[in-house]
Amino acid sequence: MLEDLNPKKFQDNLTKDDNTLIDVREKWELDICQIEGAVNMPMSSIMDTFSKLDPELSYSLYCHHGMRSMQVANFLLSKGFKSLFNLQGGIDAWSREIDSTVERY
């Protein structure tokens, strides 16, 4: 299952116990801003790192505008992952709608 969630629903979903937040942006982007508690797994290296994840758990993914994280989510779905959530509009939308202290770029 893959759900594309607006920032409010994405935020609500993060409260679930078995949900891991993954930032698929590159390190230089993470240095600008991030959502607290996120694990960085850049899209550019996801082929090498996805095997560290448990396909039975839930993962919430985000990037800058929601496109790369959706691509990564679809890739993980194709590898048998069962519970994936994408942040519509990415961290940019998060900054506008949830936490204005998160720097926009």
The residues of the chain scoring below 70 in pLDDT are none
Which among 53, 48, 88 is positioned nearest to 69, based on CA atoms?
88
Supply the pLDDT for residue 41.
96
Q: Tokens in use for 8? A: 């409010």
Q: Summarize pLDDT for 36-49 with one digit per residue, the tens.
A: 999 999 999 999 99
pTM listed for this prediction:
0.93
Supply the pLDDT for residue 73.
98
Query: Which residue numbers are catalytic?
Result: 63
Which domains are seen in the chain, by residue range?
2-97 (3.40.250.10)
Gap between the Cα atoms of 83 and 33, Å rounded: 26
Residue 97 in 3-state DSSP? helix
Q: Tokens in use for 75? A: 């890739």
